[in-house]
Amino acid sequence: MKTFLKVVIFSVAVILFYAFYANVMIPQVRPAPPPAEAKLDMGSLTMEQFIHMGDEIFHGKGTCELCHNPVGGRAPLLDQVGKIAEERIKDPRYKGKAKTGEEYIRESMKEPSTFVVAGFGVKGTNDTQSPMPVVTSGAIGLKDFEVDAVIAYFQQKAGVTVTVQLPKETPKATEETHVADPAKSGEEVVTKYGCGACHKIAGQQGALGPDLTKIGAKKNKDYLRRAVLNPNADIAPGFPAGMMPPDFGTKMLSGEFEILIDYMVKSK
Amino acid sequence: MKIPRLLLFVIIVVISYGIFKAPGILLNQPIPSSLIVMYMFFAVVTTLLWITSTEKDMQGLVGPIKTMIQDPTKKTLRNIVFVIVPLVAGGITYTQLKPSYEAPVELRSIHPAPPSTVKAFGKTFNLATLVNPYRKLEKEDPAKFTQLVKEGGEVYFKNCFYCHGDKLDGKGHYAHGFNPLPLAFTDIGTIAQLQESFVFWRISTGGPGLPKEAAPWVSAMPVWENFITEDEVWKVILFLYNYTGYAPRSWEK
Amino acid sequence: MRLSSIVVKKNLLLKMGFTVALFFFVSLFAFQFLESTKFFPIGVDTVYAAEQAVTAEKPAGAEAKPDAKKEEYQPAPKLTEKDYPQVKGINGRIMAWLVAQLHLWFAAFVLAVPILVFIVEIIGMATKDKRYDKMAYEFIKVSLTAYSITAVFGGLLLFTLVIFYPDFMRYMANIFSPTMLAYAFLFFAESACLYIYYYGWHAMEEGTAKWVHLTIGWMLNIIGTVLMFLANAWVSFMMSPHGVDAAGVFEGNIWHAIHNHLWNPLNLHRTVANVAYGGSIIGAYAAYKFLSARNTEEKAHYDWMGYTANFIAICGLLPLPFAGYWLIAEIYAYSQQMGITLMGGVFAWLFIIQAVLIGALFLSVNYYLWCGMERSKGAERYTKYIKYIAFVIVACFLVWFTPHTLIMTPGELKALGGPYHKYLGPLGIMPAKNTAVNIMLIFTFLSFLLYRRCNKIATVSWAPIGNAIQAAIFVAAIINICILGIYYGYFTNTVLKVGSSVPQVASTLFVIISCMIIDVFMFKGAKEVAPLQWGKIPDRSQYALFILAVSFTWLMGLMGFIRSAIRQHWHVYTVFRDNSPDAFTPTIGYATKVVSIGVIIFMAIVIFIFWLAHISGKKNVSQGAHH
Percentages of chain B per state (helix, strand, coil), in multiples of 5: 60, 5, 35
Among A4, A21, A229, the residue with its CB nearest the CB of C44 is A229
Residue C161's CB is within 10 A of a number of other CB atoms, namely 19
SS3 C581: coil
In terms of pLDDT, which residue wins out, C123 or A171? C123
Question: CB B110 to CB C397 under 8 A?
Answer: no
Average pLDDT score, chain C: 81
Q: Judge if A48 and A171 occupy the same domain.
A: yes
Q: Judge if A106 and A147 occupy the same domain.
A: yes
Question: CB C422 to CB B27 under 8 A?
Answer: yes
Q: Judge if A84 and A194 occupy the same domain.
A: no
Instruction: Assess whether pLDDT exceeds 70 at residue C408.
Output: yes
A32 within some domain: no
- CA–CA separation, B26 and C147 (whole Å): 60
Would you state the pLDDT for residue C53?
Answer: 38
Q: What confidence tens digit (pLDDT) does each residue in A209-267 have?
A: 788 888 888 888 888 888 888 887 777 777 767 677 777 777 777 888 888 888 888 88
- CB of B48 within 8 Å of a chain C CB? The answer is no
SS3 C366: helix
Q: What confidence tens digit (pLDDT) does each residue in B111-152 have?
A: 566 777 788 887 778 777 788 888 888 888 888 889 999 999
Instruction: Assess whether pLDDT exceeds 80 at residue C2.
Output: no
Instruction: Assess whether pLDDT exceeds 70 at residue C403.
Output: yes
Question: CB C404 to CB B108 under 8 A?
Answer: no
| Selected residue of B36, B97, B124, B210 to mutate for chain A interface (largest A Cβ count, 10 A) | B124
- What is the rounded average pLDDT of the residues C48-56? 37
Domains of chain B in start order, with CATH, are 5-97 (no CATH), 117-244 (1.10.760.10)
Q: What confidence tens digit (pLDDT) does each residue in A4-60 have?
A: 888 889 999 999 999 998 888 887 777 777 777 655 555 566 777 788 888 888 877
In terms of pLDDT, which residue wins out, C127 or C265? C265
In terms of pLDDT, which residue wins out, C283 or A113? C283
Question: Of A132, A151, A177, at which residue does a domain stop?
Answer: A177
- CB of A28 within 8 Å of a chain B CB? The answer is no
Question: CB B213 to CB A29 under 8 A?
Answer: yes
Question: CB C42 to CB A3 under 8 A?
Answer: no
Instruction: Assess whether pLDDT exceeds 80 at residue C43.
Output: no
Would you state the pLDDT for residue C161?
Answer: 92
From B216's Cα to the closest Cα of chain A, the distance in A is 10
- CA–CA separation, C45 and C306 (whole Å): 62
Instruction: Assess whether pLDDT exceeds 70 at residue C149.
Output: yes
From C41's Cα to the closest Cα of chain A, the distance in A is 9
Instruction: Assess whether pLDDT exceeds 70 at residue C13.
Output: no
A249 within some domain: yes
Q: Judge if A166 and A201 occupy the same domain.
A: no
Instruction: Assess whether pLDDT exceeds 60 at residue A78.
Output: yes
What band does C5 get if pLDDT is binned at 50, 70 and 90?
very low
Question: CB B34 to CB A25 under 8 A?
Answer: yes
Strands, E, within chain B: which ranges?
A: 106-107, 117-120, 123-126
Among C547, C579, C596, the residue with its CB nearest the CB of A19 is C596
What band does C623 get if pLDDT is binned at 50, 70 and 90?
very low
- CA–CA separation, C116 and C132 (whole Å): 11
Range of the structural domain that residue A71 is part of = 42-177
- CA–CA separation, A267 and C9 (whole Å): 74
Residue C293 carries which side chain, given as an amino acid letter? A
C-alpha distances out from residue B3 to B7, B9, B68, Å: 7, 10, 18
- CA–CA separation, C197 and C139 (whole Å): 12
Backbone angles phi, psi at C566, to 5 degrees: -70, -10
Give the list of residues 6+ apart from residue A265 with CB closer than 8 angstroms, or none. A216, A220, A221, A224
Q: Judge if A140 and A191 occupy the same domain.
A: no
A24 within some domain: no
Q: Judge if A48 and A173 occupy the same domain.
A: yes
Q: Judge if A79 and A171 occupy the same domain.
A: yes
Q: Judge if A46 and A158 occupy the same domain.
A: yes
Residues A196, A131: contact at Cβ < 8 Å? no
**Which residues in chain C touch residue B103, judged by CB atoms under 8 angstroms apart?**
409-410
In terms of pLDDT, which residue wins out, C286 or C16? C286
- What is the rounded average pLDDT of the residues C30-46? 40
- CA–CA separation, A148 and A53 (whole Å): 10
CATH at A200: 1.10.760.10
Among C72, C292, C592, the residue with its CB nearest the CB of A23 is C592
Tell the burial category of B230 from Cβ atoms under 10 Å away from its Cβ (0-12, 13-18, 19+): middle
C-alpha distances out from residue A77 to A117, A120, A160, C157, Å: 11, 11, 17, 48
Q: What is the pTM of this model?
A: 0.70
Residue A205's beta-bridge partner residues?
A: A200
A158 within some domain: yes
- What is the rounded average pLDDT of the residues C320-339? 82
Q: What is the DSSP string of B152-198?
A: HHHHIIIIIHHHH-TTSSS--TTGGGSSSPPP-TTSTTTGGGS-HHH
Question: CB A27 to CB B214 under 8 A?
Answer: no
| Selected residue of A25, A50, A51 to mutate for chain B interface (largest B Cβ count, 10 A) | A25
Q: What is the DSSP string of chain A?
A: -HHHHHHHHHHHHHHHHHHHIIIIIS----PPPPPPPP-S-GGG--HHHHHHHHHHHHHTTT-GGGTSSTTT-SS---TTHHHHHHHHHHSTT--S---SHHHHHHHHHHSGGGS--TT-SPTTSTTSS--PPPTTSTTT---HHHHHHHHHHHHHHHTSPP-PPPPSSPPPHHHHH--PPPP-SHHHHHHHTTGGGTSEETTEE--SS-B-TTHHHH--HHHHHHHHHSTTSS--TTS-TT-S-TTHHHHS-HHHHHHHHHHHHH--
A167 within some domain: yes
Would you state the pLDDT for residue C624?
Answer: 42
- CA–CA separation, C312 and C85 (whole Å): 44
Q: What confidence tens digit (pLDDT) does each residue in C248-288 have?
A: 888 878 888 899 889 999 999 999 999 999 999 999 999 99
- CA–CA separation, C117 and C136 (whole Å): 5
Q: Judge if A70 and A167 occupy the same domain.
A: yes
- The domain total for chain A is 2
Question: CB B214 to CB A29 under 8 A?
Answer: yes
A14 within some domain: no
**Which residues in chain B touch residue C397, judged by CB atoms under 8 angstroms apart?**
42, 46
Tell the burial category of C614 from Cβ atoms under 10 Å away from its Cβ (0-12, 13-18, 19+): middle
Residue C570's beta-bridge partner residues?
A: C577
Among B103, B116, B211, the residue with its CB nearest the CB of C337 is B116
- What is the rounded average pLDDT of the residues C141-157? 88
Question: CB B53 to CB C394 under 8 A?
Answer: no
Question: Of A177, A198, A232, at which residue does a domain stop?
Answer: A177
Question: CB A15 to CB C554 under 8 A?
Answer: yes
Q: What confidence tens digit (pLDDT) does each residue in A134-161 have?
A: 787 766 778 888 888 888 888 887 777 7
Q: Judge if A190 and A151 occupy the same domain.
A: no
Which residue of chain A comes nearest to B210, CA vs CA?
A32
Would you state the pLDDT for residue A261?
Answer: 87
Highest mean pLDDT: which range of C466-475, C477-486, C575-584: C466-475
- CA–CA separation, C285 and C93 (whole Å): 32
Would you state the pLDDT for residue A71?
Answer: 65
Would you state the pLDDT for residue C619?
Answer: 52
Would you state the pLDDT for residue C280?
Answer: 92
- What is the rounded average pLDDT of the residues C507-524? 89
Collect the ranges in chain B with pLDDT lower than 50: 253
Q: What confidence tens digit (pLDDT) does each residue in C177-192 have?
A: 889 999 989 988 999 9
From B179's Cα to the closest Cα of chain C, the distance in A is 6
Residues 136-165 of B with CB under 8 A from C: none
Question: CB A32 to CB B105 under 8 A?
Answer: no
Question: Of A136, A155, A177, at which residue does a domain stop?
Answer: A177
A169 within some domain: yes
Q: Judge if A77 and A200 occupy the same domain.
A: no
- CA–CA separation, C435 and C402 (whole Å): 13
A4 within some domain: no
Question: CB C596 to CB A16 under 8 A?
Answer: yes
What band does A75 get if pLDDT is binned at 50, 70 and 90?
confident
Give ipTM to 2 decimals. Answer: 0.80
Q: Judge if A101 and A193 occupy the same domain.
A: no
- CB of A26 within 8 Å of a chain B CB? The answer is no
